[in-house]
């Protein structure tokens, strides 16, 4: 049976002292005698007393805690972003409370409520795939809690306490598609995630514009909306390869889906890149471990996490100075980088 944690009130009752005296003794205050300090310390050790650091911080008006909400912690991208966040936050003297929405808007709302109850000083969030109603973020904004979106942001969602750190997804997709066209590919397919999310909408537009710039026709049957995971990529690739004119290249909006496509191509004995070239998005660690190595767009994940914390702390520090004008940076758009590997390099 679990035992209740000892409190300052418990120590005070056992020693017949006031809670304020206990608190001063534990903080080595000069107004408390050494004999009393020793009695308090001895009982605190016996009862395994641990001070409530969060409660103490809240009494001072600062929790020194940030809330971090990600869609999931699978793969490479979000764990690396979170690592960047925790490193930057720790250097600034902050702790982080990390939650995952599991791509579920209901869980996303619940975790935001948790952050607000815990009185975090700021929130960093990447949207769940199912999020299409943003009123829960409006509530955060209305309460003037600094909010930074990263990777998946709410387009057009503005406010004095709102910033975003995103990748130039349009440019990343444009580079990937243009690269495939430069390799001689003429029927380039696109595995695309839900278009209500800005990242997928922008990647799809980059794909379309790159096709047009290289004189290629955008064939609707070559764009497949699918789940951005290995299963989704597997089903999408099977669908594409059943076409009367199957694609000679596939650009996927993430690496997990392109991995599913690669498995289908191998089972059907299609050569990569000679028969079908592949490019993914995210630069997951496994892209360099499979055969052939998969070309992918790097998302600058560590930089994204550190930049998000920097923007958040600038807003928090501005608030601590009671709205002093001036140095708060605006939202940041990071530049993508195409990592060309064996899966797409024909020439």
Q: How far is CA 333 from CA 82, 164, 206, 305, 330, in A?
A: 18, 8, 16, 13, 10
Structural tokens at position 282: 């995210």
As separate numbers, helices (DSSP H) first and strands (DSSP E) second, the chain gives 12, 12
pLDDT of residue 322: 55
Structure tokens given for 61: 């008006």
Instruction: Identify the structural domains of the chain with CATH numbers, from first to last.
Output: 8-51 (no CATH), 63-167+301-334 (3.40.50.2300), 169-299 (3.40.50.2300)
Query: pLDDT tens digits, the chain, 347 residues: what are they?
Result: 345 677 888 888 888 888 888 888 887 888 888 889 899 888 888 888 776 655 555 555 567 899 999 999 888 889 999 999 999 999 999 999 999 999 999 999 999 999 998 889 999 999 998 898 899 999 999 989 999 999 998 888 888 899 999 999 999 999 999 999 999 999 999 999 999 899 999 999 999 999 999 999 899 999 999 999 999 999 999 999 999 999 999 999 999 999 999 999 999 999 999 999 999 999 999 999 999 999 999 999 989 999 999 999 999 987 656 554 445 568 899 999 999 999 999 86
- What token pair was written down for 249? 């290249």
Interhelix angle for 77-91 vs 301-320, to 10°? 40
pLDDT of residue 317: 85
Q: Which residues contact 17 (CB under 8 A, 6 or more apart)?
A: 11, 25, 36, 40
Return phi, psi of residue 245, to 5°: -120, 90
Rounded-to-10 torsion of CA 86, 87, 88, 89 = 40
User: How many CA within 13 A on the CB side of residue 331?
Assistant: 23
Length of the chain: 347
d(CA 182, CA 51): 63
* Helix 8-15 / helix 19-26 crossing angle, nearest 10 deg: 110
CA distances from residue 330 to 148, 158, 160, 163, 166 in whole angstroms, order as listed: 11, 11, 10, 7, 12
Answer whether 30's CB lies under 8 Å from 15's CB. no
Predicted confidence at residue 19, as pLDDT, reads 83
Question: Could you give the dihedral angle defined by the CA atoms of residues 76, 78, 81 and 87, in that order, rounded to the nearest 10 degrees?
Answer: -90
Query: What is the rounded distance in angstroms from the CA atom of residue 239 to the CA atom of residue 242?
Result: 5
Contact present, 203 and 296 (Cβ < 8 Å): no
């Amino acid at each position: 049976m679990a035992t209740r944690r000892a409190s300052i009130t418990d120590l005070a009752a056992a020693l017949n002292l006031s809670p304020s005296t206990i608190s001063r003794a534990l903080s080595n205050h000069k107004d408390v005698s050494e004999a009393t300090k020793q009695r308090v310390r001895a009982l605190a050790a016996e009862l395994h007393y641990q001070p409530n650091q969060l409660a103490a911080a809240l009494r001072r008006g600062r929790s020194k805690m940030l809330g971090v909400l990600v869609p999931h912690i699978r793969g490479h991208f979000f764990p690396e972003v979170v690592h960047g966040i925790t490193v930057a936050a720790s250097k600034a003297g902050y702790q982080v409370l990390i939650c995952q929405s599991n791509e579920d808007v209901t869980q996303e709302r619940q975790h935001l409520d948790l952050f607000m109850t815990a009185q975090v000083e700021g929130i960093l969030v990447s949207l769940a795939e199912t999020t299409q109603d943003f009123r829960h973020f409006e509530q955060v904004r209305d309460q003037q809690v600094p909010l930074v979106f990263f990777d998946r942001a709410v387009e057009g969602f503005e406010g004095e306490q709102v910033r975003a750190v995103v990748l130039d997804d349009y440019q990343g997709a444009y580079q990937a598609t243009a690269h495939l066209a430069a390799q001689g590919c003429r029927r380039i397919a696109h595995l695309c995630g839900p278009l209500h999310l800005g990242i997928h909408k922008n990647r799809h537009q980059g794909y379309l514009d790159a096709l047009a710039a290289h004189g290629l026709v955008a064939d609707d049957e070559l764009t497949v909306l699918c789940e951005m995971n290995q299963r989704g990529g597997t089903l999408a690739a099977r669908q594409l390869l059943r076409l009367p004119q199957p694609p000679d290249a596939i650009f996927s909006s993430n690496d997990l889906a392109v991995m599913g496509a690669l498995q289908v191509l191998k089972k059907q004995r299609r050569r990569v890149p000679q028969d079908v070239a592949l490019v993914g998005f995210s630069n997951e660690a496994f892209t360099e471990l499979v055969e052939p190595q998969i070309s992918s767009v790097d998302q600058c994940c560590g930089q994204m996490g550190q930049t998000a914390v920097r923007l958040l702390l600038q807003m928090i520090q501005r608030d601590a100075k009671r709205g002093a004008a001036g140095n708060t940076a605006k939202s940041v758009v990071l530049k993508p980088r195409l990592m060309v590997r064996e899966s797409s390099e024909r020439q």
